[in-house]
Every structure is written in C-alpha cells, then in structure tokens.
Amino acid sequence: MQAFEAFISEHLPKASSFHPHYEAALQAMLLAGGKRFRPALLLSVVRAYAPLMLESAYHAAYAVELLHTYSLIHDDLPVMDNAPLRRSQPTLHVRYNEVTAVLVGDALNTHAFEVLAHAPFSDRVLVRLIRALAQNGGASGMVLGQAIDCHFEGQALTLEQMKALHVNKTAKLIAASLKMGAVIAGIRVLEGPLYDFGIDLGLLFQIQDDILDVTQTPQVAGKTTQNDGNKNSFVTVLGLERVIEEADALACELHGRLENMDERLRFELSSLLHHYINRHKEHS
C-alpha cells in the first residue's frame, strides 16, 4: 500500500485562502493514516484480475477513503459520539473547533466524488462506480445507519435491528469497496457475490469493533474506547462472551467462503483478511 499512500499524499485536498487552518484541517485525518481497509479491499480485487489497471484504480480507492474519513470526522462530533481521539490523533473538533470539523467532513464527502469523477475510466464505468459509492455511503446506506444509531441511543434494539443498523452504517461501504473493484476489473459475475461477502465481512468488522471497545485501551486502539455504554453495541445486546462466540462463528464462515474463491482472488484477499477476520481473538 506504499504506492497508494504516496498517491494520497500527492492528491490531498487543497484550498488556498487566508483562512488560518482550513486547508491543514482538510488534510489532517488523511495524513494521520488509518487502516485503509476499504481501499485495500478494492485494490485487492483489481490486482487479482486487472493488475495493469491498479494505478488507475487508486482514484476509486481514494474516493472510498475520503468518504470513510468524512464519516469518522462526523461520527466523532460532540453531537454524536463526542470522541477526543481518532487515528491516534486529537479529533478535529478538539484540535480546532466543531464548525471546522463539520465543514471538513462536508468537504471530504463531496471531494470523494470529484476525485472519482477524474478517474481514468470510461463514462459507463465511472457512472457505475459513483452509483455504488453514493448508494452505499449515502441516504440509504451509511447515513441511514448513523441516523438509526443516534436516534435509538439509550433504547434497547433487538439483535436483528442491530444487524440492520450496522449493515447500513458499516457493512455497506465495505461491500461497495469490493464491488467497485469488480466493476473496475470488468468482472460482472463477481459483483453480487463480492458485495454479499462484504456485507458479512462488515458485520464481523463491527462486531469486532464492539469487542475491542471493551477490551482495548485508547492507546492500543488509536481511538476512543469504552465509549459504547449507552449505545446499541453487540456487546451491550448480547454480552461479551456470546459476542465473541458470534464473531468466531462468522469468522469461520467467512474463512470458508474465502477458501472457495477463485485462486487469484483468494491469494490477494487472504493476506489482507487473515488479520482482520481474526483480530478479535488477539484481545478477547
């Protein structure tokens, strides 16, 4: 991913003006790093089937990362999670102020589509990529999940409602990343299966995050932990012991599905996913 990090550094959002910190704030959370998990999924699919298109695919991977980063900035706001730490750095509303954090989130959201619109693909491919990112990251995807999460804070949800919440809030953008890789590679037959795999992978990812929230320190996690007490997390609904069992079962199922994938795709995804599929076991 070093080449992708270099691409990000070369294409940071810029806004030269007399504002004392707006441009620095625009770039802060991108420069702070992060797992780059969603871009890595997209690029793994492209690398498996269309390696010559990998550099072109950086535009789409970066667009996904921009949208994800905006969602983290807004998620950390005082009106939502009120979190002081993200990617081992002070959150933007702490470092600057709440107005800056809101506006930077807004800017990165729209900048994602500007970056994607400049990707060197045919118009037909660009439209399909933009549609996938907008549908899964917007009103009927990630934002819907966040709305449900905020509205029902302090109110108990059923397990099925919890899954619906996090399919939208977390899983759909992960699933879209895999699908977008297949769109770029021109492998239509894989778009649906990879999207479905990504939904379950996203659910596991959220279950693991809920486990790590109660088992990790902020220093290890690089973000605020022990912050879900009043929220509908899988741990608060099921209890830690049962959640770990659920994570183990879903991880086992995903590993089996990974093993049944085409050899090229399995090779590219396995090295990336081995840690992520099992990361809850490292601290539980």
pLDDT tens sequence across 69-101 = 999 999 999 999 999 999 999 999 999 999 999
Radius of gyration of the chain (CA): 18
pLDDT tens for 222-267 read 666 666 556 789 999 999 999 999 999 999 999 999 999 999 999 9
d(CA 257, CA 272): 15
Q: What is the pLDDT of residue 283?
A: 53
Q: What is the pLDDT of residue 229?
A: 58
Q: Contact at 8 Å (CB) between 246 and 196? A: no
Whole-model pTM: value is 0.94
Given pLDDT bands bounded at 50, 70 and 90, which one contains residue 278?
Answer: confident
Q: Contact at 8 Å (CB) between 92 and 78? A: no
d(CA 25, CA 30): 10
Give the mean pLDDT of the chain: 94
Domains belonging to the chain, first-starting first, are: 2-282 (1.10.600.10)
The residue to which tokens 């795999």 are assigned: 197
Given pLDDT bands bounded at 50, 70 and 90, which one contains residue 280?
Answer: confident
Given pLDDT bands bounded at 50, 70 and 90, which one contains residue 271?
Answer: confident
| Residue type present at position 239 | G
| 226 CB-near residues (< 8 Å, 6+ apart) | 213, 214
The answer, yes or no, to whether residue 281 has pLDDT greater than 90, is no
The answer, yes or no, to whether residue 115 has pLDDT greater than 90, is yes
Q: What is the pLDDT of residue 274?
A: 86
The residue to which tokens 């007399």 are assigned: 18
Q: Tell me what the mean pLDDT of segment 29-40 comes to.
A: 96
DSSP summary character for residue 223: S
Q: Of all residues in the chain, what percent carry a pLDDT higher than 90? A: 86
Q: What is the pLDDT of residue 224?
A: 66
Q: What is the pLDDT of residue 219?
A: 66
The residue to which tokens 């997209």 are assigned: 42
